[in-house]
Amino acid sequence: MCKRAALGARILLPPGNNRILAVGLNLVNGTTGQFSIGHAGFMAVGAYAGAFSATKLRPIFEGVLGSSALTDAITFNAGLLTGALAAALAGLLVGIPSLRLRGDYLAVVTLGFGEIIRILFNNAQFLGAATGYFGDDPAGLPPYTNFFWVYLWVTGIVLAIRNLTFSQTGRSLAAIREDEIAAEAMATPTTRLKVLAFTLSAASAGIAGGLFAHMQAGVRPEDFRFEKSIDMIVMIIIGGLGSISGAIIGGVFVAVTLELMRDFQEYRLVLYALLLILVMLVRPQGLLGSRELPSFFKRRASGEARQA
């Protein structure tokens, strides 16, 4: 029974976590038209901050509530929110200077940020340095991450980003993607909106990082190498830039691909390169392009039709 549960977790939890990463990154790279290639850094910030805070908050909550499932839930979610806030703050600090400029500056800055964060954690002795952080228990972090919590957070984040995308703010973000100069001419606060989208995207990566840490019972700097950022980019390109449902499909696709290639991880980037070349040749816009599959994600189109 334990083996079945472990197998089920290995199959079902990574696709859920990937959906959070993909939908969040799609808000920046797809909806807003910017290009971040270092989101693994924000995931790392969320993972470490979430795991560390959950470990330190646990005794406090136990002293008030005792040891119970409620204590576990509060501890876990308090850690996730702490990780999200830490990642959002990092996103704000990175986004304010880099998003004032146009062009590929964001890609360069986020690439550097991801590597700097990994190196910092690799040398942070109080977080286990290169060995990683596994909490105060020799058995590792408590396995709080389960199907219920992963997909509850997936649902909440997808709904939040969907509503943002179909709001006036979302339409302004799309205008920035199409023509930033024209958007500025229409008095759209382009820099502020880009920073907002980037900060929210970083926060969602922080949530995914916290879920990942408790899924693995620990977190190591090597979990957030540049390849992790490439995973995220592949998710949204395969699914279709600008499509929420495409990002969800891409997240599942990458999770399944990584599971099938578990014994051939060294060839992952080669496979990605071949897949991306194939996608660019056959369907450059991705599987869905900017379209949405379920009617749930089509409110923008119907709303525009009514206005017409």
Residue 177 domain-assigned? yes
How many degrees, rounded to 5, is the angle at CA 285 between CA 40 and CA 233? Answer: 5
Torsional class of 132: left (φ above 0), alpha (ψ -120 to 50), beta (otherwise) = left
Residue 278 domain-assigned? no
Total domains in the fold of the chain: 1
Q: What pLDDT does residue 283 have?
A: 83
Residue 221 makes CB contacts below 8 A (sequence gap 6+) with 44, 118, 119, 121, 122, 130, 132
Q: How confident is the model at residue 279 (pLDDT cuts 50, 70, 90)?
A: confident
Q: Are 154 and 16 in contact (CB under 8 A)?
A: yes
Residue 100 makes CB contacts below 8 A (sequence gap 6+) with 191
Residue 229 domain-assigned? no
pLDDT digits (tens, 9 = 90+) for 109-129: 999 999 999 999 999 999 999
pTM of the model: 0.90
pLDDT digits (tens, 9 = 90+) for 35-54: 999 999 999 999 999 999 99
Question: Which structural domain, as residue segments, surrounds residue 25?
Answer: 8-224
Q: What pLDDT does residue 276 have?
A: 79
- Under DSSP, the state recorded for 219 is B
Q: What pLDDT does residue 10 have?
A: 65
Residue 269 domain-assigned? no
* Dist CA 236 CA 124 (whole Å): 32
